[in-house]
Structure 1
Amino acid sequence: MKNVELASIFGFCKGVEASVNLAVELIKNHKGEKLYTAGELIHNKWIVNNLAEQGIIPISGPEGHEKGIVLICAHGITPTLKQQYIDAGFKVVDGTCRIILRNQKLIGETNNQTIFIGKKNHPETISTMAFAKRPSILISQVSDLDLLERNIRYDAIVQTTYSSSIISDLKEAIKERGLDVNFLSDICNSSQRRRDAVKKLCETCESIVIIGDKHSANSQGLKKIAEEEGKPAFLVSDVDDITPEILRYKHIGLSAGASVPMDVITRVRRYLINGEAACSTDSNS
């Protein structure tokens, strides 16, 4: 039997949990009404599909859809898209992560030129940059700093789940180049604690398995941490993604992205231990 060691912190963060709970409440209290999410609620296909089966479906905009209640996804949406829903007669419920809401407020209040440090085309990047008073500059890697000028004061907002190593490299390069950048935010504490927990696993485990959606920035970030620590690292969304290569290791460290529910984590852990999918959501099994 394999030794599968769980990280000290993993799975749903408070922002994701709050958004999912809002969706569940809408399904419970508004039976018979048209229910939607503005885009995918979170980066987890299992949750998105499960909610769709219960009657709350993701849409990209109000066009072509019957009026109803639309829940803003955890990553937020642009002010323009929100207004489009309102103008089309939809009732809007805000499920944006509270930390992202704070960042939207910060980027919208400053009069300085803003930069957003994050992944291109990520929903959080798109939504937060849209709140800036004037077009914000996207910085995803050190080479993007070529877009900045020395004689300008910049205020920076950081994607809550962005790579901590890239941010560290950027801060060092900003200092070396003599750029005037004031960081108004950083990655969220929840993301940092999960990454620290994966680092801790790397001290004792042969390999690391991260459960999460391939489009999830925080899940990708956890995998990258393990790789930077020199460990074989694998990203799986569920038991179907577990390969013979993963199973050849005897001592496996296991963590999960912020959008992964406990029953999926339990199922993957059980499979890694003895090749059987779990039928229980008991986290102690």
Structure 2
Amino acid sequence: MYRHGFGLNAEVEHVIENDYRSPVIDYLRQNDFRATVEGLEILLAREFGFCYGVDKAVDYAYQTRRMFPDRRIFLTAEIIHNPGVNQRLREMGIEFLSGRYRSSVTYEDLTPQDIVILPAFGAAVEEIERLRARGCTIVDTTCGSVIHVWKRVEKYARDGFTAVIHGKYRHEETIATSSRVAQFPNGRYVIVRDKDEAQLLCDFITGTCSAEVVRERLGHAASPNFDPARDLVRVGIANQTTMLSSESLEIAEMLRRAMAARYGEAALNEHFRSFDTICSATQDRQDAMHALGELKPQLILVVGGFNSSNTSHLVEIAAEYCPAYHIESVADILSAETLRHKHWAKPEAEVAHGWPPPLPTRIGFTGGASTPDRAIGDVIL
């Protein structure tokens, strides 16, 4: 398994720059992240776009294509949640084994001559074992922040603590994280999407909710044969790295208080563990969104894949300050009056009418951690 690329950074750097760099974004960076054009004041968040984990994943994918120009190359899933980047990889001849870009090739069709790239989110343990059984060459682009979470939940499992994972149970990263727990004979986990689901666990711990209710509401997002009476005696907190960081911290505190109420502060260390697994890049972009909101724009446009978790949380924060829209690309600006966008709490995109404020106005812009500079720059133009 290749985890550090192929030493071809210099050879692919100019190609990546040509694909994703934006002169508009370069200009704004050089001019205090703002500009005024014909009554429109443009404000750009100070932290946005590709994070270090995404940079690494894209770089490794390009290196892999350069290293193996004549071999079949596959991704287990989207390398990151950005349609433009995934489409570019398809144009480079890299095929997908799952998801909306899935090709006709299945895992059973893979041979020892094939190259398979694991995405930035990582992959489940059983999925990696399937690839090894096929004899494929594996290129691992898993983000270091994700691996940090894996190490934490593995330690919880070894020490007999159930991992309570704040995340989206169908998200690739959370699937991969929970699979790390399942490696251990007595490994247990339960995934909570939000504070409401975390409150169910707290209510059971403090004796105000039955095990049946917990299993009914969260059984689909828990380890097999999850038993609240057995598995919520000792818990350790972890999170999907792209979740809303403030909510992850609140959930950890909710569970700490519940355990303290049930077992007492003196015994808390025997029943509760929590370590900071919040991704610094996610935190930086969320902090920058708050800072952008405090500049009082009349509107904020957040650019990123509609299936991007971190992008959806950015627009959720933006909406605290002013009207905010999540769009995938400049193609979603349908006209001067209509805009295709996705609300963070709704499953499908919708169309807004009369969305732009009249000039003169101030509009803020940012992009998720998987959004190239070019996609943001194209929207500003």
| Length-normalised TM-score, structure 2 | 0.67
1:183 corresponds to: 274
Distance 2:355 2:326 in 1: 10
Distance 1:168 1:231 in 2: 25
Output the CA distance in 2 between the equivalents of 1:95 and 1:156. Answer: 25
For each residue in 1:29-85, what CA deviation from the matched residue of structure 2 results, as whole angstroms up to 9, or x when unmatched? 211100011111000011001101101122136223455101100001011100101
- In the TM superposition, residue 264 of structure 1 has moved relative to its aligned partner by 1.2
1:149 corresponds to which residue? 205
CA–CA separation in structure 1 for the residues paired with 2:146 and 2:134: 25
CA deviation profile, 1:94-116 (whole Å, cap 9, x unmatched) = 11001111211221122212111
Aligned to 2:175: 126
Map 1:20-31 to 2 at 5 A: 20-31=58-69
Higher mean C-alpha deviation, range 4-13 or range 242-251 = 242-251
Partner of 1:263: 374
Quote the sequence identity (%): 28
Alpha-carbon contact 2:330-2:379 (below 8 Å) kept: yes
Q: Report the equivalent of 1:192.
A: 283
Q: Which one of 171, 179, 186 corresponds to residue 252 of structure 2?
A: 171
- Contact residue 259 and residue 272 of structure 2 kept, 8 A: no
Query: Which residue number corresponds to residue 7 of structure 1?
Result: 45
**Structure 1 residue 233 displacement after superposition:** 0.7
Q: What are the superposed Cα offsets for residues 114-159 of structure 1, whole Å, 9 maximum, x if unpaired?
A: 1111112011110011001313111112232324636712111111
1:201 Cα deviation after fit: 1.1
What SS class does the counterpart of residue 88 from structure 2 fall into? helix
Distance 1:32 1:10 in 2: 35
1:5-84 mapped onto 2 (5 Å cutoff)? 5-60=43-98, 62-66=107-111, 67-84=113-130
Cα distance in 1 for partners of 2:139, 2:151 equals 18
Compute the RMSD of aligned alpha carbons.
Answer: 1.8
Larger Rg: 2
Residue of structure 2 aligned with 1:95, choices 141, 153, 163: 141
Instruction: Tell me the residue number matched to 1:254.
Output: 365
Q: Does 1:137 align with 2:190?
A: yes
Deviations 1:236-268 (A, max 9, x none): 111111252443352111000011111111111
CA contact (8 A) 1:213 1:237 kept: yes
Equivalent position of 1:210 in the other structure: 302
The residue matched to 2:286 in structure 1 has which SS?
helix
**Structure 1: gaps spanning 5 or more residues:** 271-285
Question: 1:19 Cα shift?
Answer: 0.3
SS at match of 1:130: helix
Q: TM-score, normalised by structure 1?
A: 0.88
Please tell me whether the aligned partners of residues 148 and 277 of structure 2 are also in contact (alpha carbons under 8 angstroms).
Answer: no
Can you give the 5+ residue segments of structure 2 that lack an aligned partner in the other structure? 1-37, 99-105, 207-231, 261-270, 338-353
**Per-residue deviation at 1:172?**
4.2
Preserved contact between residue 72 and residue 92 of structure 1 (Cα < 8 Å): yes
Contact 2:237 2:252 in 1 (8 A): no
SS at structure 2 position matched to 1:251: strand
Segments ≥4 residues shifted beyond 6 Å: none
Q: 1:203 to 1:194 in 2, by over 3 A?
A: same
CA distance in 2, matches of 1:52, 1:40: 11
Secondary structure at the counterpart of residue 312 of structure 2: helix
How many residue pairs are counted as aligned between the two chains? 269
Q: Name whichever of 143-152 and 160-169 sits farther off.
A: 143-152
Residue 116 of structure 1: aligned partner: 165
2:245 and 2:94 map into 1 onto residues whose CA distance is: 34
Shift of 1:196: 1.0
Distance in 2 of aligned mates of 1:43 and 1:202 = 24
